[in-house]
Structure 1
Amino acid sequence: MDTQADTIPLAQADERISRYDWPLLATDLDSHGCAMLQNLLTADDCDRIAGLYDTPQHFRSHVVMARHGFGKGEYRYFSYPLPSLLDDLRTALYPRLAPVANAWNERMGITARYPGSHETFLKLCHDAGQVKPTPLLLRYIAGDFNCLHQDLYGDLAFPLQVAILLSRPGEDFSGGEFVLTEQRPRMQSRVEVVPFSQGDAVIFAVHNRPVKGTKGNYRVNLRHGVSRIRSGQRHTVGIIFHDAK
């Protein structure tokens, strides 16, 4: 696929990912259910990816959120082959996150384990009939928002995903905070607001994560969303590691 995003030096994806302190990020994920990758993309990267939104040939579907009760705003799912930067980031991020996912499943008493490479995991998805790519590009304008939700598309779902802010808070838009909530058994829900800058990424739990209590580990249920855009326009790209039916 010949896209604007393919003009980025794509061989740098793994180098970019490897510069982060992954043991510290794993600790953040265990403690908070999310972790930040600051400056994952450059401003030029962000502008090129956001610029793909109005070229429908790069996407397999277009969702207007209000039609489905998801909130207000819209997004497009990329088609295969993905723009190379997103494909390479997806491939490079996965093996750093699979050990966290496997440790979480062990603590929660879930038997499923995730293979070490994304290629192998995608083959499992495809063998299960989940063949549609899930990375997506979202666009919000003033008044738009995204209701709290979970991105689960089939029986095989990787428990972590990544969102990258492509727009500049305070310049391109105002409002539009990324919000995570945790529902703990017999407790009030906990809210986390992620402080994004352009090019920053957040890794976060898709569905459940383990929390250590006085009697061992228990599961908490997570949802994520975006608060109301007060002004301007906001683009985000989401990297989901499992494919959909």
Structure 2
Amino acid sequence: MPSHLARRRRPGRLRVGLAAKGSAARARTEDAVNAAWERVHQELDAQGYARIPGLLSAAACDEVVALYGDAALFRSRVVMGRHGFGRGEYQYFADPLPPRVADLRRDVYPKLSGVANAWAERSGLERRFPGTHADLRAECAAAGQSRPTPLLLKYGPGDYNCLHQDLYGDLVFPLQLAILLSQPGDDFEGGELVLTTQRPRMQSRVDVVPLARIIHWTSRPVSQPRELGPAFQHGHARLELAIFERASGERG
């Protein structure tokens, strides 16, 4: 789809890489980036998810959407209705990942590994996650988990995604990155991200999040010693109207 048709709003961006010129400008940019990620960390601790507006530009979103039609880039395709997952479809990327996807995963992971390790420490768990995504992938490969998990989802009118968790193998990183590649209100209506968590001896909590750029958790610390708390399940409400049929990305 031509990028001029998307008519996206351009929020302030949280950049993963730094390209400021001059030491003073670079220091100011680094301070702003660090402050933005500190806000993300605080929101993850407080509510279990955090929005990151502007993580990808409109042009970058269009670039990723265009990948969906190239079958050579993917290792498998899932039609959700055949498995009772909902309606719609998605494809898992094959190795090697497209550069845009690989770079995003590589750059965002170190911003989140500290959060995962802090949660593990607070929960009394011995598990610690390495500082780079390459090292995490090496650990996964040693455990027999070698298939890449980044995927693209594609929804049309009436499509939806049932509540679920994306878990693959015993070695699981507790945070997940989902990026909406279409603009709500311009490209589609409906399709909100729904997050639910079951709480001990309490009714389930439900959050409906207008998905822009969001990180949500699979588990995090709770008051019980040596435990990670009940995890979010996530899904998508029914898509009411697709002005332009597009895809969304999930599983960093």
* Structure-1-length-normalised TM-score: 0.85
CA distance in 2, matches of 1:182, 1:74: 25
| Counterpart secondary structure, 2:100 | helix
Alignment of 1:1-245 (within 5 A): 13-15=16-18, 19=33, 21-196=36-211, 200-206=212-218, 208-212=219-223, 219-232=229-242, 233-240=245-252
CA distance in 1, matches of 2:239, 2:172: 29
Aligned-residue offset at 1:14: 2.5
| Counterpart secondary structure, 1:211 | coil
Aligned-residue offset at 1:177: 0.2
Gaps of 5+ in 1: 1-11, 241-245
Highest relative contact order (Cα 8 Å, sep 6+), 1 or 2?
1
CA distance in 1, matches of 2:101, 2:149: 11
| Counterpart secondary structure, 1:237 | strand
Aligned-residue offset at 1:86: 1.1
CA distance in 1, matches of 2:183, 2:171: 34
Higher Rg of the two aligned structures: 2
Aligned-residue offset at 1:195: 2.0
Q: What is the aligned-residue RMSD (CA, Å)?
A: 2.1
Aligned-residue offset at 1:79: 0.6
Aligned-residue offset at 1:122: 0.5
Q: 1:25/1:212 Cα in 2 relative to 1: closer, same or farther (>3 Å)?
A: farther
Say whether the 8 Å CA contact 1:95–1:118 is kept in structure 2: yes
Say whether the 8 Å CA contact 2:51–2:215 is kept in structure 1: yes
Partner in structure 2 of residue 3 of structure 1:
none
Aligned-residue offset at 1:110: 2.6
* Structure-2-length-normalised TM-score: 0.83
Say whether the 8 Å CA contact 2:123–2:226 is kept in structure 1: no
Supply the AA of the counterpart residue of 1:201: R
Gaps of 5+ in 2: 1-14, 20-28
Identity of aligned residues (%): 50
Aligned-residue offset at 1:57: 0.7
Aligned-residue offset at 1:170: 1.2
CA distance in 1, matches of 2:93, 2:62: 17
Aligned-residue offset at 1:107: 2.3
